[in-house]
Structure 1
């Protein structure tokens, strides 16, 4: 199973929370209170996201962090890359840090690049604004009156 780390999941939740108030400066405690992510984890992730160019750090008594761009300009791929490095499913795909000892004669390398590129493209097509939209848990119920009319 391919799975993103819990830290990356937390980062998307935190940034989604911040994206609901574009331009606002947040303290780590405010983000922790608003998301339920533990405050030490929030502090660590804020630093990593700022280092990744997704957040701006503001010093001073009224300081904190704010999004570097609007939520519709930040992609899920950027968040993943800021925390986990290049999106690479196997050691042999373009951008992977690891090397494989059979890479030079492996016939699968080109195919893994196709899969990796498809996943990267999918993650690049979803923005933070898209992630902030709450899907409906259940479809809207039909009005009772319409169902009664159908019986007649």
Structure 2
């Protein structure tokens, strides 16, 4: 879902400053099925990345400038916290190596590096058209 969310947000950002856009329009522009776009839009709106309004003139808009929205924001909106492994979270231990794992103390560093890399990619960059 994260990859589709990036596609939807990039399409929405191209409408920035213009009239609001509907989920149906985003579906047409991206080629994604309407139910998928609606599900993604709901998550992105709940996460505060999109703003939705109903009625005449209603639709979707970015909740903040595209430059202030990152790839990390989008991924976390639909997938939750960014991590290569969830074993470091309390109550999420599903690994048989948990008690003897020498790498477990280092996962937070790895996960933060991954999140930091994604946080350095602004939506404006993702919305650029390729040459």
Q: When the two structures are superposed, what TM-score results if normalisation uses the length of structure 1? A: 0.76
Tell me how far 1:21 sits from its aligned partner. Answer: 2.0
Higher RCO (Cα < 8 Å, 6 or more apart): 2
Give the alignment's Cα RMSD to 1 decimal.
1.9
Aligned match for 2:15, one of 18, 21, 24: 21
Structure 1: unaligned runs, 5 residues or longer: 1-6, 137-152
Aligned residues: 129
Equivalent-residue separation in structure 2 for 1:52 and 1:41 (angstroms): 17
User: 2:53 — aligned with what?
Assistant: 58
* Greater Rg over alpha carbons, structure: 1
User: In structure 2, what is the Cα distance between the partners aligned to 1:97 and 1:89?
Assistant: 17
Following TM superposition, the consecutive aligned residue runs of length 4 or more in structure 1 with deviations greater than 4 angstroms are none
State the 1:133 CA deviation.
2.0
- CA drift of 1:104 comes to 4.7
Could you say what secondary structure the match of 2:102 adopts? Answer: coil
